[in-house]
Amino acid sequence: MPHLLIFGLGYTAARLARRLAHDGWQIEATGAAGTIRFDDDAAVAAALRRATHILSSVPPVDARDPVLDRYGDAIRATPAGWIGYLSATGVYGDTGGAWVDEASPVGHGRRNARTTADLAWQALGRPVHLFRPPGIYGPGRSALDRIADGRARRIDLPGQIFSRIHVDDIVSGVIAGMAGPAGLYNLADDHPCPQNDVIAHAAALLGIPPPPLQSLDAAQLSPAAAAFYAENRRIANGRAKRLLGWAPLYRDYRAGLAACLAETRMQGNDHAAERQGHA
């Protein structure tokens, strides 16, 4: 039976875990919602011996990768036949809106710590499947939610382009990677576009007016959110399509947001039915 050990059971990894558990996989994971404490060396070592597949989704901390710092030697020695790492397209930095692929240089952006971790996993000494998604969205974490709770902003920056990916398309990309060659893979949808288009469409789906256009200064964004707008690039996904036979189910934000809205409404209906059943 395939057995996956996940370091860092966050939003994306949890979606992957649910999908694989449904397919009969055994899942172990570190993280607040996981089954193992990250600092329990004996439990992690035992899980590494059991695992057929290993995936880390833990981001760097203070320019270091905590998984490799603590368990790098054990991961190199593991009998597992597959190792994966969830990185990010922030490693490419700003390209002025130009396309980037896996051959593009890295280390010129605001996420130098991510680049350091990305390169460290590449240098592990074992074949690694390294996935680079751009902005991740999905049920509970999309423009729909930001519109609904008043956090959405439309920033007046003509020519600003971003790529994005629905969380379930990362899940399908990782699963496709389990049967494909090791290497670097961008997992992005097919339609890079201005973030303002996404916000406006989300508002239309909810039947409410979009937020007004604002300058970057007037929006008073947090430093992290403002830094997001300092980079401008389009992410090419052709390598994953060619080598893994993968393609995004949600090819653009319209399809992805529609799926988010449908899932959210379905969950709401389920919760309402559950409450009614307990009444």
- Tally of domains in the chain: 1
Is the pTM value of this prediction over 0.85? yes
- CATH code of the domain covering residue 243: 3.40.50.720
- Domain membership of residue 89 (yes or no) is yes
Q: Which residues contact 276 (CB under 8 A, 6 or more apart)?
A: none
> Domain for residue 59, yes or no?
no
Q: Report pLDDT for 219.
A: 87
Residue 67 lies in a domain: no
Name the average pLDDT for the chain.
Answer: 94
Residue ranges making up the domain that contains 268: 81-278
Per cent of the chain over pLDDT 90 is: 84
177-192 average pLDDT score: 98
In a domain, 126, yes or no: yes
**What is the mean predicted confidence (pLDDT) over 124-144?**
97
Report residue 80 as tokens: 């597992």
pLDDT band at 107 (very low <50, low <70, confident <90, very high): confident
% of the chain at pLDDT higher than 70: 94
Instruction: Tell me, yes or no, whether 197 lies in a domain.
Output: yes
Tell me the pLDDT tens digit for each residue of 45-69: 999 999 999 999 999 998 899 999 9
